[in-house]
Structure 1
Amino acid sequence: MIMLQQLVSNTPVWVWALLVFLITRGIAAMKPGEISLTKLAIVPALFTAWGLWSISHRFGSSWQAWGEWLVGIGAGMGLGWVLLRRATLTLNASTGKLWRSADYSLLPLLLITFAVKYGFESALAVSPALGADDSFRAAYLLLSGGFTGIFIGKYGRYLRASHLATPRGKLEAAG
C-alpha cells in the first residue's frame, strides 16, 4: 500500500490532467454529434507524442526500440481501422464538421491504454534496469505502439470517410 501511495504521489500532475482529459473525451464520444477532424486528431497526437518522448527518453536512437514500436503501431492501425468498419458519417458542409454516431469503444480503449502506459512507465521509473530486459522492452514497445496505432487507425478511418464524401454531403461507411 505504501508503494502505491508513493507511486501515485510521485506521478506528475500532467499525467492526472491527461487522464481527466481522456475520460472526458471518451464520455463525449459516447454521444452522437458533430466534431471536427482536428478534435478527432487530438487523442492520436497525444499518444504519438507520449510514445515519441518515452522512446527517445528511455531508448535513445535504438533502431530495435523504434522498430518494435512501429510494428506495434502498424498492428494497432489495422485494429483501429476495423473498429470503425461500420461507422457512418455525415459531413455538414456549412461547418465542415463530421456528424458521427456514438463510439462506445473509445472510453474503454483510452482507460486501458492509459493504464498500460502508466504501468510500464511506473515500472521503468521504479526499476530502470527493466529497460534492458528484452522481453519487458518488447512488451512495452509493442503494446505502447499498438495502442497508439489503434487511435491512429481510427483517425485514418475518419479521414478516409471524409474524403469519400458524396455530392449530397454524406460520407460512406469507411469500408
Structure 2
Amino acid sequence: MLQQILSNTPVWVWVLLAFLVQRGVQASRDREVSLRMLLILPLVMLGISLNSLAKHYGLESWPVMLWGSTMLLTGWVVAQRMQPEQMVRISADQYRLQGSWVPLALMMTIFVGKYAENVALAIVPALSQQNTYVAISSLFFGVLNGVFFARVWRVLMLSQSAKQVQIA
C-alpha cells in the first residue's frame, strides 16, 4: 500500500518538498531579508492550507472559519511573545533575522500533515463528513499556520512602531 501511495503522489508534491527543505535550511542561518522575501514562505504555506480546505471541505464552510480564526489568534499570541533580538529592522524594507530550525520543523509538520490528510481522505473519503475529524484538522493546521505568520506579524508590528517613532 505504501508503494502505491508514493507512486500515486504527483511530481509537484516532491518539488514542493524540496523547495520547503531548501527554504528551511536557509532559515536556520542568521540573514537579512526584505519584507517581500519574508512573505513568500508564509504565503506558500497559506496557499497549501487554503487549497486543501477548498478541496476537502469547500471554502464557504465552518472549517475555514475555524482554521482562519485559530491561525489569527495563534499568530497574534506568538508574535506578542517573540523576543526582540530574534528580529531587528535595519532599514525601511530590510530585517535581520536570527537563524532558527523552527521554520523547517513547522514546514515539515505542515507538509507531512497535509500529505497524511490527503492520503487518509483518499482512502476513507467519509472522513471529510465527520465533524470531529474536520475540527481537529482545522485547528491543527490553523495553529501551525498561525505560528508561521507570527514572524510576518512581528515584522509588521516593528515597521508600524518605527513609523510612529519617525513621526514623533
Whole-angstrom distance in 1 between the partners of 2:78 and 2:39 = 14
Q: Which ranges in structure 2 are unaligned for 5 or more consecutive residues?
A: none
Whole-angstrom distance in 1 between the partners of 2:72 and 2:129 = 24
Whole-angstrom distance in 1 between the partners of 2:4 and 2:147 = 31
Match of 2:147 in 1: 150
Whole-angstrom distance in 1 between the partners of 2:67 and 2:142 = 5
Runs of 4+ with >6 A deviation: none
Match of 1:74 in 2: 72
1:89-168 correspondence to structure 2 within 5 Å: 89-92=88-91, 96-165=93-162
- CA-CA distance at 1:136 after TM superposition: 0.9
Match of 2:13 in 1: 15
Secondary structure at 1:31 match in 2: coil
Q: Which ranges in structure 1 are unaligned for 5 or more consecutive residues?
A: 170-175
Match of 1:172 in 2: none
The structure that is helix-richer by fraction is: 2
Q: Which amino acid aligns with 2:45?
A: F
Mapped contact 1:71–1:142 kept (Cα < 8 A):
no
Mapped contact 1:34–1:97 kept (Cα < 8 A):
yes
- Pick aligned residue for 2:63 from 57, 62, 65: 65
Whole-angstrom distance in 2 between the partners of 1:43 and 1:116 = 17
Question: TM-score, normalised to structure 1's length?
Answer: 0.82
* 1:6 counterpart = 2:4: yes
Q: How many positions carry a matched residue from both structures?
A: 165
Mapped contact 1:92–1:99 kept (Cα < 8 A):
no
Question: TM-score, normalised to structure 2's length?
Answer: 0.85
Match of 1:88 in 2: 87
Alignment RMSD, CA only?
2.4
Q: 1:148 to 1:163 in 2, by over 3 A?
A: same
Whole-angstrom distance in 2 between the partners of 1:83 and 1:136 = 30
Mapped contact 1:32–1:99 kept (Cα < 8 A):
yes
Moved more, 100-109 or 30-39: 100-109
Q: Which amino acid aligns with 1:91?
A: I
Match of 2:50 in 1: 52
